[in-house]
Amino acid sequence: MVNIFIVKKSITSTSSSYKLLLSVSDPRTSDWFLVSAPGPLLAIVAFYVYFSTSLGPRLMKDRQPFTLRKTLIVYNFIQVILSIYLVYEGLMAGWLNDYSFKCQPVDYSDNPKAMRIARTVHLYFIVKIIDLLDTVFFVLRKKDKQISFLHVYHHAGMVMGSWGGVKYLAGGHATFLGLVNSFVHIIMYTHYLIMSLKIAKPWWKKYITQLQLFQFILLLIHFSQLLWTKDCGFPRWPAAVFIPQNLFMIVLFGDFYYQTYVKKKPKKSANENGQAYNEASNGKPKSQ
């Protein structure tokens, strides 16, 4: 009897916490596509993980890999266009003139610029869902070695994190991440597009890795400012998420850069690593 009471109390408490989390969300975005409740998104992420790690490889086991060259050309081109648009909107809606780089609160009003940045955050979230196709293409091309725990975890985490941005923080300080990340993606997907078209040799590969490292350092500084800047109205808890995350990415990409471009290796090994990292459209540790 006591156990039943404890279970009921736990269920009631969990339900209350869930309702509270939904009630404190941004009312402007509550009815936007895939934003109202986490259920549909969790289903997408769960199926993504299942397909990437189990179902997909099993379906492709006795099949020849797809080349997908035309598909990758179109995909990379769309990613470049979307990234350019996100950078433009992020600048015009706030970061070019209005936003403070030290600390910027979220404007929850229906002001046109506030709504513009909120819609941009939502589009960024949709783009992170589209990014899941990176792994799908890995599966269909039987690039199973690229489907690491880190790769799947990062893609799934970015989808969930960007959903939280739309749901609770559709504007303000954290949108700098989307601005910087989208700029880096312009460069990255342009590189993958060139690789897909096979129109040039990628002599610039190491500079893309340098750009990614600079991105994480810049974001680390940006979110660290929340720790010592006087309260401006933006919550400090995102710093507890993004500071460790960017430190981890700096270590990861720093190790890759060292192993690939600094440490002397046999020529064949270096080429294989470079190819695995820079394959058109998907062959890399994905940035945020």
- Mean pLDDT, consecutive 10-residue stretches, the chain (288 aa), reads 50 42 76 93 96 95 93 96 98 93 93 95 97 95 85 88 93 95 94 88 85 93 91 89 89 82 61 42 47
Query: What is the Cα–Cα distance from 164 to 177, expressed in whole angstroms?
Result: 14
Q: What is the number of structural domains in the chain?
A: 1
CA distances from 115 to 106, 125, 146, 148, 217 (A): 11, 15, 38, 37, 29
Contacts of 245 by beta carbon, 8 Å cutoff, 6+ apart: 288
pLDDT given at position 88:
97
For residue 97, being part of any structural domain is answered with: yes
Q: For residue 34, give both structure tokens.
A: 């895939």
CA 26 to chain centre: 21
Residue 154 annotated in active site: yes
For residue 158, being part of any structural domain is answered with: yes
pLDDT given at position 193:
93
For residue 55, being part of any structural domain is answered with: yes
pLDDT given at position 20:
39
For residue 9, being part of any structural domain is answered with: no
pTM of the model: 0.83
List, in sequence order, every residue forming a beta bridge with 283; answer none if it has no partner.
279
Q: For residue 2, give both structure tokens.
A: 């006591």
Burial class (CB in 10 A: 0-12, 13-18, 19+), 16: exposed
Q: What is the dihedral of CA 226, 227, 229, 234, to 10 degrees?
A: 40
For residue 253, being part of any structural domain is answered with: no
For residue 216, being part of any structural domain is answered with: no
List, in sequence order, every residue forming a beta bridge with 279; answer none if it has no partner.
283
- Cβ atoms of 193 and 217 within 8 Å: the answer is no
For residue 196, being part of any structural domain is answered with: yes
For residue 153, being part of any structural domain is answered with: yes
In the block, residue with structure tokens 């470079």: 274
Q: Which of 122, 151, 154, 191 is catalytic?
A: 154
Query: Got the DSSP string for 60-112?
Result: HTTSPPP--HHHHHHHHHHHHHHHHHHHHHHIIIIITTT--SS------S--H
Which domain range does residue 68 map to?
34-203
Burial class (CB in 10 A: 0-12, 13-18, 19+), 77: middle
- Cβ atoms of 286 and 134 within 8 Å: the answer is yes
